């Protein structure tokens, strides 16, 4: 058994009952084998990024402690997406509408470049919709080569990222 790693997950949805879908993903993350849910952020309403001709997203973040290798954790995330109704490929357009999107943002302080998995997530430092909820629960998380999540958040425009439910 490998030593536990702190993994940061980004959650988002903008189809169907998006807030309920994101909330339901938290216990699904906690139920992954070899994982313990350490923290969840509040939910945020955020403007669409990349493709702006779609509904606003509901975004959140979670921190897991996991003994799963990164690729196995990603497989678990993809299975949670599938169970929530996401069908990858076919009509799943880049940056388009999502029933549920789960991104492995950080895996400890590791840098990984594997088929289908880059960690830190390649767009993490550009996306306020990810950094705002992540900084709420893991501001001190290291971004290899770029300081911390909290430091990265100070460098982006977070206009339009609004708390859906106050603390």
Q: What does pLDDT average to over the chain?
A: 88
Task: Out of 53, 83, 94, 101, pick the active-site residue.
Answer: 101
- Asked if residue 130 has pLDDT above 60, the reply is yes
Please tell me which residue in 45, 103, 125, 127 is annotated as part of the active site: 103
Active site residue 101: yes
Q: Is 140 an annotated catalytic residue? A: no
What is the CATH number for 51?
3.30.70.560
* Domain ranges, residue 55: 5-163
Catalytic, 53? Answer: no
Between the CA of residue 82 and those of 62, 101, 148, what are the distances in Å? 19, 10, 31
What pLDDT, on the 0 to 100 scale, is given for residue 95? 55
User: Which of 120, 26, 22 shows the shortest CA–CA distance to 70?
Assistant: 120
Catalytic status, residue 94: no
Q: Report the number of distinct structural domains present in the chain.
A: 1
45, 86, 125, 127: the active-site residue: 86
- Annotated catalytic residue within 88, 92, 94, 98: 98
- Per-residue pLDDT tens over the stretch 81-107: 988 876 666 554 555 677 899 999 999
The pTM for the full model equals 0.90
């Amino acid at each position: 058994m490998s030593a536990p790693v702190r993994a940061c997950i980004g959650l988002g949805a903008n189809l169907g009952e998006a807030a309920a879908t994101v909330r339901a993903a938290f216990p699904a993350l906690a139920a992954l084998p070899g994982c313990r849910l350490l923290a969840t952020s509040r939910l945020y309403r955020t403007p669409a990024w990349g493709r702006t001709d779609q509904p606003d997203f509901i975004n959140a973040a979670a921190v897991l402690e996991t003994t799963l290798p990164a690729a196995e954790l990603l497989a678990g995330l993809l299975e949670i997406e599938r169970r929530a109704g996401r069908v990858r490929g076919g009509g799943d357009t880049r940056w388009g509408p999502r029933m549920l999107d789960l991104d492995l943002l950080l895996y400890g302080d590791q840098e990984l470049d594997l088929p289908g998995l880059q960690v830190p997530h390649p767009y993490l430092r550009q996306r306020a919709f990810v950094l705002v909820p992540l900084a709420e629960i893991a501001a001190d998380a290291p971004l290899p080569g770029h300081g911390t999540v909290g430091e990265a958040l100070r460098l982006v425009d977070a206009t339009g990222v609004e708390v859906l439910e106050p603390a």
